Structure 1
């Protein structure tokens, strides 16, 4: 049968938006629309398309890395690693301008490399770093913004779940994506640090120095505290190092990370049945949520492709009479707007079947485009009205910190994210330094 793809696009898109407005989660909105469209347009045979796409997606070996990295993150969250890591870095950097905020950024980078799950990082930093900064008299907006921005670095810093799903959906090598993300991820953290230092130098009252007693810790005590985090840091180095030097795939490295995490937790004397049970339960819960979203959006894209919708949208981009770089900017704008309302995974699954082929046809590198996507989602993670980072933090702070105050604290860090995005956009070699 012949269908008008323009009309199909409006009907399917409108149906999904209507269901979202009614409060139905994206996974079930897209799944319901996909099944209804397949029955109406193709009859029962259309359900085979949904089953086939779902099977082919889950047949990817790289997908196994997702539950493994989540299990690794869940285990580390249940140990005292984050608290000890924060303390170990703090005692060496307390004399720096805005030292506690800088430590929060450093810990955010390390947790991103060790955990890779954004929500958990924000909660950890909200429980550990934010009370410390507020106790020392730090400006509330600076402290809140630092926690939210640093806690969301897991979107960029490998092993980023965002990059894994991007690689699977665009048939891009995940290891290459991990290598390409290192420099932009560190650059983003440096941008945060530069803002903190400049803000502190211009107005020292926003970040008072700690007391003399807190800075005069004996060297032996400093070394003892630092030694406690060595096993966990060794796990991170082994996991990422095995990927970068090419001796293990992403999935193999994830399995190595889980084993190393259990060993490191056992060395610290914190491995017990409650930790194992809790981490497994959280992993199953998180994976269930993610995979339902994959099934729903994959089904919708499958039906939409069969009726010619994806080719229709691809032709619309190809017919644009503007320079290719403006096409990329248009795509980034779509990412940013969608990311302000729905989760990154929904944005990725709904857009990449259309955008990735267009990017390749324009002659751009899909690895570079994946880093741009992750940076855009990083900014969207802090941008109202969706701003998941704000809601994660609000769940663990005292009642005197309002959601509005949290949202208003993020704008300087969003500016730093957009500046980093612009640097990567107009200087692509930043993503190729380790590849």
Structure 2
């Protein structure tokens, strides 16, 4: 076989990048592209004896105990999708909106935060809110762009608000405490949600036609109590999951199991638990986690081979050589993540870039936990940004036929601006995330 090592690390890196880009443009899944390129370079650069090194690296990724929490949180989200918990939660939050102008949009963001704190899965949240909140806002005469933006941006908060799967994968990749990541991400997550609320209220009061006040009859005390019952079970699940983590009672993995038990118990109390619900939720969990695991296997193999080639040191030297100013280097990394976010899944981005970026961040004197929160805030943008922002496609799957993908991406632009503001705030005020 042709000896690729004669290319040197400079041209080897260029060839690897070109192969990745070329194969991704053919439509091949990222997991298979990264695994094929990893095997190609392992055999071509080192020979057949290097293959066991790849398998050992892959094993270290998939055998992590904390990784068990990923399917647990995905299962929580899958059960929530199929139960009426989210619907009752949305109805209960009407008491928050009340006669407030833009109240239904604000109510949607509050529900999004609670759903994010229950499961941390983005896709399910956007679909749920697209089914519950979007039709109601459109029926009340809300501006279409404002309604679409609130649903997509609110649903994407699962990236930031603990227990976020993005934070878990980052913690595994960067080898930092996931509990610390959850603690540090809490305030930035709420900060971003407050940006959305402020934007909605300001737009609504500057132009009342954008968000008409819902005409509602006066509710009796009994009706209010009935609505409030919809808050009890979701709040209890959030308290048990996050309370056990922050209180030091349980690890993230143990808390995820508590969360699954809490959601199953909640559906049982509501009389919705069935074999069919559990079977469908389990199949969805297997499908989602299978994708994450395969991307993890491919990316771990590729990064392992690239490291053996000396590529990580080469790229690190390139990045740090841009400027002596650590802030410039940090902004350059953010720009790379922003561009990658337009084309790649966040799992692939985390697993491919963090083994290179985190050592640089540590060397520059930054806190890797703070950088993890910054990474998640950046990935918020990737969920919304064209041309492949997954939030838009999730919403399109349940939106009315007259709403096109172009309409959705256009509606998301102000919210992308708010997310970039969130990134800037974290860089300027690192104490927001404990940095």
Q: Is TM > 0.5 for Structure 1 vs Structure 2? A: yes
User: Which residue number in structure 1 is paired with residue 380 of structure 2?
Assistant: 378
| Aligned pair partner of 2:177 in 173, 179, 196 | 173
Distance 1:212 1:247 in 2: 44
Tell me whether 1:113 sits opposite 2:120 in the alignment.
no
Within 5 A, what are the aligned runs for 1:295-314?
A: 295-314=297-316
Q: Is the 8 A contact 1:184 1:430 kept in 2?
A: yes
Alpha-carbon distance, 1:320 to partner: 3.0
Runs of 4+ with deviation above 4 angstroms: none
1:356 Cα offset (Å): 0.5
Instruction: Name structure 1 gaps, 5 residues minimum.
Output: none
The 2-side partners of 1:117 and 1:9 are apart by 34
- Post-superposition shift, 1:317? 2.3
The CA deviation at 1:20 is 0.5
Instruction: Give the distance between the partners of 2:82 and 2:54, measured in 1 at CA.
Output: 38
1:415 aligns to 2:434 (yes or no): no
Q: Is the 8 A contact 2:81 2:124 kept in 1?
A: yes
Structure 2 distance, partners of 1:141, 1:290, is 32
Name the SS for the 1:341 alignment partner.
coil
Structure-1 separation of matches of 2:152 and 2:139 = 18
Residue 421 (structure 1) shift: 1.2
TM-score (norm. length: structure 2): 0.97
Tell me the CA shift for residue 59 of structure 1: 2.1
Aligned positions of 1:375-414 closer than 5 A? 375-414=377-416
Cα offset for 1:386? 1.1
What secondary structure sits across from 1:310 in the alignment? helix
Distance 1:69 1:23 in 2: 29
| Structure 1 CA distance for aligned equivalents of residues 130 and 380 of structure 2 | 18
Q: Match of 1:95, SS?
A: coil
Residue of structure 2 in register with 1:335 after alignment: 337
TM-fit CA distance, 1:26:
0.8
* Contact 1:228/1:268 (<8 A) preserved: no
> How far off its partner does 1:397 sit?
1.1
The equivalent of 2:52 in structure 1 is: 48
Is the deviation greater in 237-246 or in 310-319? Answer: 310-319
In the alignment, which residue of structure 2 is the partner of 1:232?
Answer: 234
Q: CA deviation at 1:2?
A: 7.1
- Supply the distance in 2 between the matched residues of 1:321 and 1:337 (Cα, whole angstroms): 20
Q: CA deviation at 1:3?
A: 6.1
Alignment-derived partner of residue 7 in structure 1: 11
Tell me, which stretches of 5 or more residues in structure 2 are unaligned? none
Q: Is the 8 A contact 2:101 2:211 kept in 1?
A: yes
Q: 132, 141, 147: which is aligned to 1:128?
A: 132
- Would you say the 8 A contact 2:114–2:234 is kept in 1? no
Decide which moves more: 136-145 or 416-425: 416-425
* Residue in 2 that maps onto 1:96: 100
The 8 Å contact of residues 91 and 217 in structure 1, kept in 2 or not, is answered as no
* C-alpha displacement of 1:106: 0.4
Match in the other structure for 2:258: 256
Q: CA deviation at 1:319?
A: 2.6
8 Å contact kept, 1:340–1:384? yes
Q: Which residue of 1 aligns with 2:164?
A: 160
Give the distance between the partners of 1:133 and 1:243, measured in 2 at CA.
36
Q: Hey, what's the Cα distance between the residues in 2 that align with 1:405 and 1:318?
A: 40
**Who is 1:67 aligned against?**
71
Cα separation, 2, equivalents of 1:221 and 1:334: 52
Q: Does the 8 A contact of 1:115 with 1:121 survive in 2?
A: no
